[in-house]
Structure 1
Amino acid sequence: MALGFTPAIEIYGANETLINQRLISWEHIDAAGIESDQLTLVLDLEGLEGLPNLGGKVGLRVGYLESGLVNKGQFLVARRTPTLFPFRVSLVATAAPFTATDETGFLLRRSASHGPTTVGALFRELTSRHGFSPRVDPALSLIKIDHMDQSNESDMGFITRLANKYRAVTKPVDELYVLAMPGQVKSLSGKVLADVRLSVTRNNRPGDHGFISATLDDTARDKSQGCKVSWWDAAAGVFREVTVGKAPFKVVRQGCQSENEARAVGEGEVRNMARQKLKVKISCPGNPNFSAEGLVLLDDTWPDFMRGRWSIDKVTASGDRTSSYRCMIEATCLDPDAVAFD
């Protein structure tokens, strides 16, 4: 897809006329997992009397005049920070539908005991009572939980700990709350993300419109290919061990209360080890089709040790209205065994 050369951005929703007229710069962070998507707008306030009442929901459309704009969703203005000399205001908006009043008590600390239940049932219970529509990956939904304590934790914090235990990711997406395997968040939310091909130009140099730079990080490459997880056999009064994958093994120091729970934790850890072997950071021309949990395809214009499909963990897009639009991509190798090294 040809993207064009003239960056364009449009804000819609609350105070859209004022924002579009006075927008100096912007930044949109689209992150995988529990991190909420965030939009930051910097506005010029010179010539205005007083500080305008800026709040409510705003939406972002971004792209190029030649190829059109892509809707990146709506955000709730959570913070505004005015400065003097220069007279500006910075608006920070979040995609998560949380408010300062927290009417449903989603951020309120509480203690409770859960179980016997399943991961899917517990997740649906916790999110539904706060007005979210839950979506759970089938691979996680039926995992059995004998007992799990929520001790002086908010429901949001407990949900996060539940996801981390099975190496899953959880995230609010508009009015949905999604619990999924890495790379599946957007598909469960109903958004279909196609691979986005990225090519290096023949004359790749700083200052050029299409300039790309990248850093490959292989320090996280782990020799372990399996793990051992212990669980407490209450009937026999002893700790037992579940082995998942193959040697060499990583020892997971997380107490589990049943063999099934230990196996589920181990399987999640093995998946996580495979994902974390190789990471890349890419600075490239802005592309509104880049999205966290989506895939970027580095084609044969790249060095052989970088080619292939990478799962996007985070996209930080930034620019101004007319002269710049860049993306910083953080991604994890989808198939570490396919990456070649000398």
Structure 2
Amino acid sequence: MALHRQHPSHSAVKGSRTLAGTTLRFGGGGGGGGEESGGAGGTRTYWWDYAKGQRQEVLVGEAPYETLRQVHASEAEAKAAAATRQNEGKRSEARLSFTLPGDPRLMAEGRITVTLRDQIPSDWRITRAEHRINAGGWTTSCECELYTEELESVV
């Protein structure tokens, strides 16, 4: 991805940094309410074993465990839910936001590579892309989360 010059009317937001004309904001944190594992630890969920008539436990990752409330109908469903939550926690370890002149190639769920420094990951997944056309011209704002290939299998 080529970094373009920032339009003079765009100002840097508090907690952000302008680099090569692109506004970048970095921050951690999870997505959504409730308990968050934030990528640390594992996930515990339950499924109902109809043959035994009791609740069974499924663990993904290592302690400490975040417990999902819903009791699932099968072991496979419970494992998928736990792996999905584990993946969400891993992806939300880092976030990247930027605004640049309009680019139609940037869209939600797309993968983008941004090379800045060795300490900053370069592969990101776009979670939100907003294209704006106004008196100042066309701009694209993106919010990204860390792209990780070695995520737990959901199936």
Q: TM-score range by the shorter chain?
A: 0.7 to 0.9
Distance in structure 1 (CA, Å) of the matches to 2:110 and 2:142? 11
Distance in structure 2 (CA, Å) of the matches to 1:287 and 1:235? 56
Q: How does 1:197-276 map to 2 (within 5 A)?
A: 197-199=1-3, 207=8, 211-220=21-30, 222-276=38-92
* Change over 3 Å in CA distance of 1:223–1:309 after alignment to 2: closer
Distance in structure 1 (CA, Å) of the matches to 2:75 and 2:69? 15
RMSD: 2.8
Alignment-mate amino acid for residue 84 of structure 2: G
Alignment-mate amino acid for residue 29 of structure 2: T
Per-residue deviation at 1:248? 2.9
Unaligned runs of 5+ in 2: 11-19, 31-36, 151-155
Q: Give 3-state SS (helix, strand or coil) of 1:199's partner.
A: coil
Residue 333 of structure 1: aligned partner:
146
Equivalent residues of 1:213, 1:284 under 8 A apart: yes
Q: How does 1:292-331 map to 2 (within 5 A)?
A: 292-299=108-115, 302-320=116-134, 324-331=137-144
Distance in structure 2 (CA, Å) of the matches to 1:255 and 1:217? 33
Per-residue deviation at 1:206? 6.1
CA deviation string 1:201-243 (max 9, x = no partner): 6xxx761897311111213371534211111222322211011
Per-residue deviation at 1:305? 3.8
Instruction: Give the number of the structure whose residues are more often helix, by fraction.
Output: 1
Distance in structure 2 (CA, Å) of the matches to 1:307 and 1:227? 25
Q: What is the identity percentage for the equivalent residue pairs of Structure 1 and Structure 2?
A: 23
Q: How does 1:96-135 map to 2 (within 5 A)?
A: none
Q: Give 3-state SS (helix, strand or coil) of 1:277's partner.
A: coil
Runs of 4+ in 1 over 6 A off after TM superposition: none
Equivalent residues of 2:39, 2:91 under 8 A apart: no
Q: How does 1:145-164 map to 2 (within 5 A)?
A: none
Equivalent residues of 1:225, 1:245 under 8 A apart: yes
Alignment-mate amino acid for residue 214 of structure 1: L
Q: Give 3-state SS (helix, strand or coil) of 1:246's partner.
A: coil
